[in-house]
Chains A and B, each alone.
Chain A
Amino acid sequence: MSRGAVPLQETPVAFERVTMHFGTRPVLVDFSCEFPGNRISVVLGGSGAGKTTILRLIGGLIQPQHGRIWVAGTNVVGLSERQLYEVRRKLGMMFQGGALLNSLTVYENLAFPLREHTRLSEREIADRVHATLAAVGLRGVDHLLPGELSGGMVKRAALARAILRDPQILLCDEPFSGLDPISVKRIEALLRRINQERGITMIVSSHHIPSTMRMAHHVVLLWDHKAIQGTPQELAASPDPQIADFFNEEVHEEGVREPQHTPVQRW
């Protein structure tokens, strides 16, 4: 919160007075926030608050009506698709539903971006793919299609594809949604380990309060089209009773409220 001295261009990701509407419906209004480097930031908000929208804005998949969005030193607002591809080489994104290519096996899903962007030999590609799959705890799934994986395995495969090319910034959209409590803990541990070992800046969207309290260094709470930022402890101790409730209520009622919070998937 007290990083005002650092210019926005040098923060890995920063939103500067961004306004984003879909039609007449506002999602972000004059929205500013920062995501510190080498840390895990969690974007928190209820269903439909705009978590996915924020990650898609960072990736340049959608463009806001106003404002600037700094990603690794570049303002991605108004860039052409070609310029965006340069920025995206520094990003990895894990989509809410995995977004793996359904017609390719897990192995091919990971191998083909390497074939597209590197001059590695087939052997080196195989080594890299298997090392990454092992890092996310997936073995023996090379020849399966995404449709043949369980929900948790899809998330892992998607995470593997996102970290495959060693991004500077990793975006994870709802890595915990639709998972049982044990898988949640496993994915959470995995994200923390990746953050520690590789020093990747992580931006994780979630509505899962307990895991946020455990893993987040920095929280961006989406509240009334604006951002409320701070450490998880700072936000839970917020003087605003509504915000404090948002945290504490869910911590106590975890497991009871959880199923109702499964987000409406886009498909």
Chain B
Amino acid sequence: MRFVLELGRIAAFTADVARAVVTPPPRLGAFVAELFNIGVLSLLIICVSGAAVGMVLGLQGYNTLVRFGAEESLGAVVGLSLIRELGPVLTALLTTGRAGSATTAEIGTMVATEQLDGLRMLAIDPVHLVVAPKALAMIAAMPLLSALFIVCGLAGGYVVGVALMGVDAGNYVSSLQNAVDFRDDVLGSVLKACVFGVLVGLISTFRGYTCQPTSAGVAAATTSTVVVGSVSVLLFDYIITALWGV
């Protein structure tokens, strides 16, 4: 029962955000600032994690492939796992923990200190001014960060596979090029990242916007963003993969 109520509230909130996005005047300045914020907040963690995951994939992939004498297709293994699955999913999980929780805490603090009510009393819609640009920036940032993660991962796999394990550089790149299909793999990857962006953007802003106006309320909302955000990313990953075979 409470779950159904909650779903209804999220739906109404989503409609509010969508309406705010198309209502003039567009908040371009706020959107760009938020995009920059989320990007900068997540840049380091995405690059480091991407490289690390790529290196692990390179090592594991090599050790498995070498048993079948197929180590020249290491590029394909690393590339496909990163592009189809690990890139978008891990990016979404990391972004939830870093930028999503920050978004919730920021909006929640504005609720607790009555800043959003202050805006309402000035006849300014806080969803329009504060919430929508943050949600939109999260949606826009996710595919970009995911692409960055994948690029760092490919580089990490290259370093381990080619420099450390001695796979031929040409083989690594050409097997990668041959295996990856633009429509199926790359577009699918972007689609996943966009869906995750919508999920994390809406969950983190919703949690902040509806949090209890106390410091404990802000803390609870921030935790909830990380938990609910991560779980729904994983659930939707399965659903997308099952439906579209990405």
CB within 8 Å of B: which residues of A? 56, 59, 61, 81, 84-86, 88-89, 91-93, 95-97, 99-102, 113, 116-117, 161, 266-267
- C-alpha gap A81/B120 in the complex (Å): 9
Contacts of A113 in B (CB 8 A): 122, 124
Q: Is the CB of B122 within 8 A of A59?
A: no
Interface pick from B108-116, B148-156, B187-195, B196-204: B108-116
How would you classify the secondary structure of chain B's contact residues: helix, strand, loop or mixed?
Answer: helix
- C-alpha gap A56/B118 in the complex (Å): 11
- C-alpha gap A266/B117 in the complex (Å): 13
CB distance from A92 to the nearest CB of B (A): 8
Within 8 A of A (CB), among B91-118: 109-110, 112-115, 117-118
Between A88, A96, A267, the greatest number of chain B beta carbons within 10 A of the residue's beta carbon is seen for A267
Q: Is the CB of A61 within 8 A of B123?
A: no
Q: Check A59/B112 contact, CB under 8 A, given A266-B213, A267-B214.
A: no
CB contact between B114 and one of A88, A89, A266 (< 8 Å): that residue: A266
Q: Is the CB of B113 within 8 A of A61?
A: no
- C-alpha gap A84/B123 in the complex (Å): 8
Apart from A97-B113, A161-B122: 13 A-B pairs, beta carbons within 8 A: A61-B117, A61-B120, A88-B120, A88-B121, A89-B123, A91-B121, A96-B114, A97-B114, A99-B117, A101-B110, A101-B119, A161-B118, A266-B112
**Total B residues in contact with A, Cβ cutoff 8 Å:** 18
Q: Is the CB of A267 within 8 A of B215?
A: yes
Q: Check A102/B113 contact, CB under 8 A, given A266-B213, A266-B214, A267-B215.
A: yes
CB distance from B118 to the nearest CB of A (A): 3
- C-alpha gap A42/B215 in the complex (Å): 30
CB distance from B58 to the nearest CB of A (A): 43
Q: Is the CB of B124 within 8 A of A267?
A: no
**What would be 15 A-B contacts, judged by CB atoms less than 8 Å apart?**
A59-B117, A59-B121, A61-B120, A85-B123, A88-B120, A88-B122, A88-B123, A97-B113, A99-B115, A100-B115, A100-B118, A116-B123, A117-B123, A266-B112, A267-B215
Q: Is the CB of A81 within 8 A of B115?
A: no
Closest 7 A-B residue pairs measured CB to CB? Answer: A99-B118, A99-B114, A93-B121, A85-B123, A267-B112, A88-B123, A113-B122
- C-alpha gap A99/B125 in the complex (Å): 15
Q: Kindly report which residue of chain B lies nearest to residue A267, judged by CB atoms.
A: B112
Q: Check A102/B115 contact, CB under 8 A, given A61-B120, A81-B125, A88-B122.
A: yes
Q: Is the CB of B213 within 8 A of A61?
A: no
